[in-house]
Amino acid sequence: MNIVYASNDNYARHLAVSMLSVFDRNRRARQITVYVIAIGLSGESRTRLESIAAQYGRELYFLELADIEGQFTGGVDTGGFDISTLGRLFVGRLLPEDVDRVLYLDCDTVAAQPLMELWRTDLRGNVLGAVMEPTIYRKVRQEIGLAPGEPYFNAGVLLIDLKRWRQTEAERRLLEFYREKGGNLFACDQDVINGVLKGRIRMLPPKYNFFPNYRYFRYADLVKHEPAYAAVKKEEFAEAGRHPVIIHYAGDERPWYAGNLNHYRKAYEHYLALTPWAGTPKEEGRRLYLFAYHMMDYLTVVCPAARWLISRMLGMRAVEARGKKKTDSCEGK
């Protein structure tokens, strides 16, 4: 099993948690090789990560991507996301030629169950497999060319057929799409992957990339918001909440923030305590906001329409702000 991460030094601690959880939950796997696309990863962090791999007798390789901005013509605008997130676009180039399948994981994920069933998934000729994200804003979908009814996928967990990725020149097409959009996209490389590879992505069950806040959404409301989500069975959605295989700590309620009430935070805390970063204090300064955010989780249960309204108001401000920035940039030329 080949696992790929992209990380800088700020996310090394979370990478360690994710990687250790993969090793722990897959002790019976004959082979696990981890490749880290390193973007400003310090020597101390590398040594700590290597100690985890050695502890479990697994292979770990660092793939350098020092000048990531130089890979893009026309500049890079991540809109607040860390630039290391763009590293996943270069998997075909950076990984050894004899590696023809990889499982890409965001650093803010934790394996809660074994991954072999996911690893063996038949992609049925598609370039990759991913889990649908039904809560993305419609305007975001429209701006990347998705028609009504076409699914939008989260890029935090990607099962990639690297052989087909290379054959179809996916990297070149992804970078061209990014340039054509002026590097001004709401979800950065995730939007690029959805825009370029639509129709070539196999839908994976939600248990393989479960967002903690989806625990509070009703299946019927998600389908109402995004009809394409009906392709996910109600039973699959319920099972994902009860027994997620991969927990993806996306959103604001992250378990390393002091005051978070994330229902799944103990999985992260358990594995953090087993890493060389054990004892790292949680980040302060968000307690009041996190309490309010958690109250919004409960609001989702009792009054989903109010949650959608709040989410749309706040989220669309970010979308529109990026659109205005793009317009101002064009007018300034």
Q: How confident is the model at residue 118 (pLDDT cuts 50, 70, 90)?
A: very high
Q: How confident is the model at residue 327 (pLDDT cuts 50, 70, 90)?
A: very low
102's tokens:
């990889």
The pLDDT, as a whole number, for residue 320 is: 54
The pLDDT, as a whole number, for residue 317 is: 58
In angstroms, the CA 267 to CA 248 distance is 11
Condensed to tens digits (0 to 9), the pLDDT of residues 279-323 reads: 999 999 999 999 999 999 999 999 988 888 887 777 655 555 555
Q: How confident is the model at residue 182 (pLDDT cuts 50, 70, 90)?
A: confident
Percent of the chain residues topping a pLDDT of 70? 89
> Residue 298 contacts by C-beta under 8 Å, 6 or more apart in sequence?
216
Percent of the chain residues topping a pLDDT of 90? 78
DSSP annotation of 253 reads -
Condensed to tens digits (0 to 9), the pLDDT of residues 146-158 reads: 998 999 999 999 9
Number of domains in the chain: 1
Q: How confident is the model at residue 75 (pLDDT cuts 50, 70, 90)?
A: low
In angstroms, the CA 15 to CA 229 distance is 30
- Residue 322 sits in a domain of what CATH number? 3.90.550.10
What domain range includes position 22? 2-331
Indicate whether this model's pTM tops 0.85: yes
In angstroms, the CA 284 to CA 183 distance is 32
> Residue 173 contacts by C-beta under 8 Å, 6 or more apart in sequence?
196
> Where would I find the H helices in the chain?
12-25, 43-56, 91-94, 116-119, 138-143, 162-167, 170-180, 189-197, 219-225, 234-242, 265-272, 287-302, 304-331
DSSP annotation of 152 reads -
Could you give the 3-state DSSP secondary structure of residue 86? helix
In sequence order, the β-bridge partners of residue 161 are: 101
In angstroms, the CA 121 to CA 179 distance is 32
